[in-house]
Amino acid sequence: MKKTLTHIIFLGIILLLQASTAFSQTDSMAREIAQAIRQGNAREVAKHFGQNVDLTLPGSEGTFSKSQAEVILRNFFSRNVPTALSIPHQGTSRDGSIYVIGTLQTRGGQSYRTYFLLKKVSDNFQLHQIQFEPQ
């Protein structure tokens, strides 16, 4: 009985450490993406895209390849130069996906509700969806 309890405790500790490591990796990825958005750096954002990404931007909505999405995002940032990004909400969905919700401010004074979603594909998280909606 004591041996079984020891195994259960040991397994629990291992699972907690793995969950903690996975969370810190995704939290770090979310911070990198947020920083790239603040800088208007489409290339850095695109480093986290999977093969396809769902984009919702003024004038562009759909599922695009990694390279198409990068070009569309670069054009968006050139027309809407970011000055700030605040992130009041971040969390985990039931399926383990990580979501981030914030507000992007631009040089032209426009505000965009910003949303992005990181999904686990195989053993890695990828930027699956990104949205910029005028407020």
As given in the structure block, the two tokens for residue 102 are: 């914030």
**pLDDT for the residue 17:** 45
Check which CATH number belongs to the domain holding 62 and give it. Answer: 3.10.450.50
| Range with the poorest average pLDDT among 1-15, 93-107, 118-132 | 1-15
Residue-wise pLDDT for 31-68, tens only, equals 999 999 999 999 999 999 999 999 999 999 999 999 99
Ramachandran area for residue 11 (φ above 0: left; ψ -120 to 50: alpha; else beta): alpha
Task: Give the residue numbers spanning the domain of 91.
Answer: 2-134
Q: How many structural domains are present in the chain? A: 1
Placement of tokens 């970011």 in the chain: 82
Q: Is the pLDDT of residue 24 over 60?
A: no
| This prediction's pTM | 0.80
Q: How many CB atoms lie within 10 A of CB 37?
A: 25
Placement of tokens 């079984």 in the chain: 4
* Cα separations in angstroms, 81 against 17, 97, 101: 40, 28, 19
- pLDDT bin (cut points 50, 70, 90) of residue 123 is confident
